[in-house]
């Protein structure tokens, strides 16, 4: 039996750990303010806020309840739109959506309010841009976003610039009810959790729940997030080691990573959405073996090694064909490590998709490069969307090594990159378009990327 606190109530759901929280909310708990749209993590209508006990108190983030197994909520605080007030009053965001006409049919509104509340509760900084950024996983099909921006602006501009305790400030301002202050103590008083772990392995669930939600609903999945040891990013100065269960959010917020690669944060903003980044893991991205997996592409350029319990292999040898891996059926990827680059090394990552945000790439690529006096001292280039799996462009990298970076060298590198790939025409673009994108990206890495510009 698992237990958690849903809004202001201790609950003991009697269901499989794999049941999506969205289904429990709407079918079993009677909380129908959380809406069901796509069931694929794409629309944000089902957004809830999940509070997990952490070292600095409860850490809140917005997540898609359609991809969130209920077993993951054990011992946590689940907040839905119904939990933001205790009576009929509106929160400041709800009131400003009303005042600014930011809601027409209203279907997307609960999800948007939850994303904004998740931002208030969990983001490092509070500004109009961080609040708007928190809506990158919420789609509105009828109002449009100008009115939403007006509503967000009017609320954020009223928040005090300084406060000592964020929770107290948010209660004072009416964004959350006073019961939030009791949650940390009450979570500790829940009975010990017993989550059955017998079936499919789930990390963030943002891939497996998209295609196997019905099957998982009745299963008791094994949750990788319960393994605390593989949720950290550490470095000993020579090697950086990233636990396979580290989320995209953790990766984006890590000081170890941003110190080495200041531009990566901007690239990671284009990977999925706030709700998906809260859950999606680095290990899941590598193992799901999508040909356009953004994190796998980046780690290929970083010369990453994959660690399983009994062995290690270079990431560049892991992919054997389309969704074909050098991995045994029950093997678990535990860590990904890469050598700390020499000072002066630059990581440049690019992604072109049909939409700027919340879309998967047509073509993506990464380049790790060190140039001294215009001569390439070290380089590794990888690309996605141009082969059946994330591809290391070994020929292009070998060609560039030791060469002076001139227009002739750059043009030749683009041609070699083209000769190494075999893209197919599909919904993300024709073969010719993808080749042109790759050429443009290799050129951009070798020109603007070298100036350490965030591309």
Ligand X SMILES: Cc1cc2nc3c(=O)[nH]c(=O)nc-3n(C[C@H](O)[C@H](O)[C@H](O)COP(=O)(O)OP(=O)(O)OC[C@H]3O[C@@H](n4cnc5c(N)ncnc54)[C@H](O)[C@@H]3O)c2cc1C
* Residues engaged in binding ligand FES (CB under 6 A): 36-39, 41-46, 64, 66, 103-108, 140-143
Q: End-to-end alpha-carbon separation of the chain, Å?
A: 49
CB under 5 to 8 A by kind: which of ligand FES, ligand X, none does 205 bind? Answer: ligand X
**Is there a contact between 301 and 369 (Cβ–Cβ < 8 Å)?**
no
Nearer to ligand FES, 50 or 302 (CB): 50
Nearer Cβ to ligand X (81/208): 208
Helix, strand or coil for residue 338? strand
Rule CB under 6 A: is residue 118 a binding residue for ligand X?
Answer: no
Q: Closer to ligand FES by CB, 107 or 433: give it.
A: 107
Choosing among ligand FES, ligand X, none, which partner's interface includes residue 143 (Cβ < 5 to 8 Å by kind)?
A: ligand FES
- Residue closer to ligand FES (CB basis): 36 or 227: 36
Of the ranges 110-118, 206-214, 340-348, 445-453, which one interacts with ligand X (CB under 6 A)? 206-214
The encoded tokens of residue 331 equal 């093997």
What is the rounded distance in angstroms from the CA atom of residue 455 to the CA atom of residue 453? 6
> Among residues 253, 250, 241, 240, which one has the least CA distance to residue 335?
241
Which residue, 177 or 205, has its beta carbon nearer to ligand X? 205
- State yes or no: residue 400 binds ligand X (CB under 6 A): no
Q: Minimal distance in Å, beta carbon 274 to ligand FES?
A: 12
Q: Any contact of residue 285 with ligand X (CB under 6 A)? A: yes
Site pattern 227..266 for ligand X (x: CB under 6 A): -----------------x----------------------
Site for ligand X in 136-195 (CB under 6 A): none
**388 exposed, middle or buried (CB, 10 Å; 0-12, 13-18, 19+)?**
middle
Q: Could you give the maximum distance between any two Cα atoms of the chain, in Å? A: 69
**Does residue 103 touch ligand X according to CB under 6 A?**
no
Q: In the set 21, 257, 332, 393, which binds ligand X (CB under 6 A)?
A: 332
Buried b (16+ CB within 10 A) or exposed e, 39-60: bebbbbbbbbbbbeeeeeebbb
**Residue 190 burial (C-beta neighbours within 10 Å; 0-12, 13-18, 19+):** middle
Vertex 113: Cα angle to 102 and 265 (nearest 5): 105
Q: Which residues contact 65 (CB under 8 A, 6 or more apart)?
A: 20, 21, 22, 25, 34, 46, 47, 48
284 scored as a contact of ligand X (CB under 6 A):
yes
Closest residue (Cβ) to ligand X? 284
Q: Applying CB under 6 A, does 42 fall inside the site for ligand X? A: yes
Q: Which of 85, 104, 263, 288 binds ligand X (CB under 6 A)?
A: 288
Q: Is 171 helix (H, G, I), strand (E, B) or coil?
A: helix
Please, what is the Cα angle at 295 between 294 and 297, to 5 degrees?
A: 70
Q: From ligand X, ligand FES, none, which one binds at residue 217 (CB under 5 to 8 Å depending on kind)?
A: none
The DSSP string of 278-325 is: TT-BHHHHHHT--TT-HHHHHHHHTT-EEEESS-EEEGGGTEEETTEE
269 is an interface residue for ligand X by CB under 6 A: no
Q: Tell which one of 293, 368, 393, 417 touches ligand X (CB under 6 A).
A: 293
Q: Given candidates 156, 271, 379, 414, which one binds ligand X under the rule CB under 6 A?
A: 271
Q: Applying CB under 6 A, which part among 69-77, 153-161, 205-213, 252-260 lies near ligand X? A: 205-213
* DSSP secondary structure letter of residue 247: B
Residue 45 touches ligand X, criterion: CB under 6 A: no
Query: H helices within 6-136, ranges in order?
Result: 21-23, 92-99, 109-122, 128-133
Q: Judged by CB under 6 A, which of 167, 276, 315, 446 binds ligand X?
A: 276
Q: Identify any residues that bridge with 333 across adjacent strands, giving them in sequence order.
A: 308
Contacted by 352, from ligand FES, ligand X, none: CB < 5 to 8 Å by type: none
By CB under 6 A, name the binding residues for ligand X: 40-42, 200-208, 210, 224, 244, 271-272, 276, 279-281, 283-285, 287-288, 293-295, 332-333, 360
């Amino acid at each position: 039996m698992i237990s958690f606190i849903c809004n202001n109530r201790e609950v003991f759901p009697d269901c499989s750990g794999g049941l999506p929280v969205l289904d429990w909310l709407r079918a079993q708990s009677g909380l129908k303010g959380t809406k069901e749209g796509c069931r694929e993590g794409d629309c944000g209508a089902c957004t809830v806020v999940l509070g997990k006990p952490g070292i600095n108190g409860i850490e809140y983030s917005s997540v898609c309840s359609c991809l969130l197994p209920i077993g993951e909520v054990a011992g946590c605080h689940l907040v839905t739109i119904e939990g933001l007030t205790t009576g009929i009053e509106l929160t400041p965001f709800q009131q400003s959506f009303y005042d600014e006409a930011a809601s027409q049919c209203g279907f997307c509104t609960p999800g948007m309010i939850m994303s904004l509340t998740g931002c208030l509760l969990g983001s490092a900084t509070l500004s109009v841009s961080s609040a708007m950024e928190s809506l990158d996983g919420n789609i509105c099909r009828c109002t449009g976003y100008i009115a939403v921006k007006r509503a967000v602006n009017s609320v954020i501009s009223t928040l005090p610039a300084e406060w000592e305790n964020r929770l107290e400030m948010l209660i004072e301002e009416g964004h959350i009810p006073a019961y939030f202050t009791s949650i940390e103590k009450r979570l500790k008083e829940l009975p010990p959790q017993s989550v059955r772990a017998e079936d499919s392995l789930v990390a963030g669930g943002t891939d497996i729940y998209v295609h196997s939600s019905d099957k998982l609903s009745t299963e008791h999945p094994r949750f990788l997030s319960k393994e605390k040891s593989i949720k950290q990013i550490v470095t000993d100065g020579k090697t950086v080691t990233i636990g396979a269960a580290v989320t995209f959010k953790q990766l984006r917020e890590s000081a170890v990573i941003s110190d080495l690669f200041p531009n990566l944060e901007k690239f990671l903003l284009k990977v999925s959405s706030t709700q998906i980044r809260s859950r999606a893991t680095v290990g899941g991205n590598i193992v799901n073996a999508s040909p356009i997996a953004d994190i796998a592409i980046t780690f290929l350029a970083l010369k990453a090694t994959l660690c399983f319990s009994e062995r290690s292999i270079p990431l560049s040898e892991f992919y054997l064909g389309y969704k074909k891996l050098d991995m045994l059926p029950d093997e678990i990827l535990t860590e990904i490590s890469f050598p700390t680059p020499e000072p002066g090394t630059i990581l440049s990552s690019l992604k072109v998709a049909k939409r700027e945000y919340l879309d998967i790439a047509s073509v993506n690529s990464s380049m790790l490069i060190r140039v001294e006096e215009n001569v390439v001292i070290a380089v590794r280039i990888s690309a996605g969307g141009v082969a059946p799996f994330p591809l290391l462009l070994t020929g292009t990298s070998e060609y560039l090594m030791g060469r002076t970076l001139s227009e002739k060298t750059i043009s030749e590198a683009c041609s070699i990159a083209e000769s190494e790939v075999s893209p197919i025409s599909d919904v993300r673009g024709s073969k010719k378009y993808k080749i042109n994108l790759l050429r443009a990206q290799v050129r951009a890495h070798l020109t603007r990327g070298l100036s350490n510009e965030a591309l």
